[in-house]
Amino acid sequence: MPVPVQYYAILSALLFSMGVVGVLLRRNIIIVFMSIELMLNAANLLFVAFARYQNVVDGQVFVFFVMTVAASEVAIGLALVMALFRSRQTTDVDDISTLKG
């Protein structure tokens, strides 16, 4: 018996919400980063599931591009974390408030 596409929608929504809650709840910048990756993955899963049920491969090509953007984002983001840690000795996002008015 095939899995209804709604199940994938439910799973994807739950994973995405978990990522959002992670960004809201955690103050550790690396955990925040991983939560963002979780959100991207939830979107990817829905892309692939919908592409499968429409019998097209365009969704999979899009996932490929999303992964490219995610890889660049992680490289830049972690370089920023390193630069930040070197100058401030912290990874707490609440300590980074210089730009706050």
Partner 1 sequence: MSVLLFGILAVLALITAALMVTARNLVHGVLMMVANFAVIAVMYITLNAPFVAVVQVAVYAGAIMVLFLFIVMLIGEQQLTFDEQLGGQRLYAAVLGLLLAGILLITLVSAAPYAGQSQLTEEFIGRQNVQLVGAQLYTEYLLPFEAASVLLLIAMIGAVVLAKRRLL
For residues 34-63, which are near partner 1 according to CB under 8 A?
34-35, 37-38, 41, 44-46, 48-55, 57-58, 60-61, 63
Comparing CB distances to partner 1, the nearer of 92 and 101 is 92
Residue pair 44/66 in contact by the 8 Å Cβ criterion: yes
To the nearest whole angstrom, how small is the minimum distance from the Cβ of residue 101 to partner 1? 19
Query: Can residue 2 be called a binding residue for partner 1 (CB under 8 A)?
Result: yes
CA gap 48, 54 in Å, rounded:
10
To the nearest whole angstrom, how small is the minimum distance from the Cβ of residue 33 to partner 1? 8
Query: Can residue 91 be called a binding residue for partner 1 (CB under 8 A)?
Result: yes
- What does each C-alpha distance from 1 to 4, 9 come to in angstroms? 9, 18
The SS3 of residue 29 is helix
